[in-house]
Amino acid sequence: MAELQLTGLAPRAALRAVRQALEQADVPDAAFDARELYRLAVGKDPRLDISPLTAEEAASLAALTARRAGREPLQYIAGQWDFLDFTLAVGPGVLCPRADTEVVCEAAVKLLQASGNPTPTVLDLCAGTGCLGLGIKRFVPGARVTCWEKSPEALAYLRRNARQALPGAEVAVREGDVLTDWQTLPPESADLIVSNPPYLTGAEMQALMPETAREPAMALDGGADGLVFYRCLTGPWKQILRPGGWLVLEIGYEQREAVLALGAENGWVNGSCRQDYGGNDRAVLLQKPRNRE
């Protein structure tokens, strides 16, 4: 991409030039991204700004535009991203928080609120930025939340978010491997497990969008059929939940039947699925039977 010459341009003219550069690079939703890049570079809303760009502002905006045109995720460029009503640190090495995942968090929160337990024990497995565990803590303040993550790179963001995203809230962070660490916990010690595990299939891993290809493969690759983590979460992790406890899982939009079937095979009950705001299947809910069931 040729370097943009933006010095002295009015905000709307600069915004138009940035959008066109992003469109030429096939960036999805170029208009939205152009506005966000302008805010990052100039510190103002381009729709409200009237001052021509200074040389420093123009150079900053041009540099950010080049990065986005190179298909670096906008979240990485920003260094932070909103989830629900709080902000998370994000960058290379951790999965970007997405609006679809908010539906998973909201489903878990509703289950906890309906339980009547003011201090539930919650595990967020494959936590990444910690968006799910922190979201639960945000709306169920008495919850005792532990976020588990294996990746050292993601752990750095998780620890930072656990300290800073919700001032005054305490969320525990644990380094561990979800595929084995169920063995380290006592049976029936949690009330709810929530997870956005790696769930892309081998074929999907070979056809990633350029932005997604910049995200860590460890957070995306669910094995040949995309179900490796779901087998573990619906299998041995079941014993960690108390009777009546819930497992809430983010899924790929074509995985509803497969994950619900795994739940049924492993003796879970009351399986259901929630859709995201785009109308795609996104969250599977499974309940561990109560002792009398």
User: Which band of pLDDT confidence, cut at 50, 70 and 90, is reported for residue 77?
Assistant: very high
- What distance in Å separates the CA atoms of residue 166 and residue 171, rounded to the nearest whole number? 9
Q: Which residues pair with 285 in a beta bridge?
A: 248, 272
Same domain for 62 and 86, yes or no, is no
pLDDT surpasses 80 at 289: yes
* Residue range 9-60, pLDDT digits in tens: 899 999 999 999 999 999 999 999 999 999 999 999 888 888 999 999 999 9
Last residue of a domain, one of 47, 70, 93: 70
- What distance in Å separates the CA atoms of residue 131 and residue 97, rounded to the nearest whole number? 7
What is the average pLDDT value for the chain, to the nearest integer?
A: 95
How is residue 69 written in tokens? 């045109």
Same domain for 20 and 122, yes or no, is no
The residue type at 175 = E
Same domain for 84 and 185, yes or no, is yes
- 5 falls within a domain: no
> What does the pLDDT read at residue 292?
52
- Asked if 98 and 156 count as a contact pair (C-beta separation under 8 A), the reply is no
Range of the domain at 100: 80-287
To the nearest 10 degrees (0 to 180), the angle between helices 99-115 and 131-139 is: 40
Same domain for 41 and 86, yes or no, is no
* Residue range 169-213, pLDDT digits in tens: 999 999 999 999 999 999 999 999 999 999 999 999 999 999 999
pLDDT surpasses 70 at 293: no
- Asked if 18 and 46 count as a contact pair (C-beta separation under 8 A), the reply is no
- Asked if 258 and 273 count as a contact pair (C-beta separation under 8 A), the reply is no
Same domain for 232 and 273, yes or no, is yes
Q: What sign results for the dihedral spanned by CA atoms 217, 223, 224, 225?
A: negative
Last residue of a domain, one of 25, 40, 70: 70
Same domain for 199 and 131, yes or no, is yes
The residue type at 256 = R
* Residue range 274-287, pLDDT digits in tens: 999 999 999 999 99
Same domain for 117 and 253, yes or no, is yes
Write out the E strands in 120-206.
121-125, 144-149, 172-175, 190-195
- 4 falls within a domain: no
User: Which band of pLDDT confidence, cut at 50, 70 and 90, is reported for residue 1?
Assistant: low
- 134 falls within a domain: yes
Nearest to 249 by CA among 229, 265, 269: 229
The residue type at 10 = A
Say which DSSP state 107 is in. H
- Total domains in the fold of the chain: 2
To the nearest 10 degrees (0 to 180), the angle between helices 30-42 and 11-24 is: 130
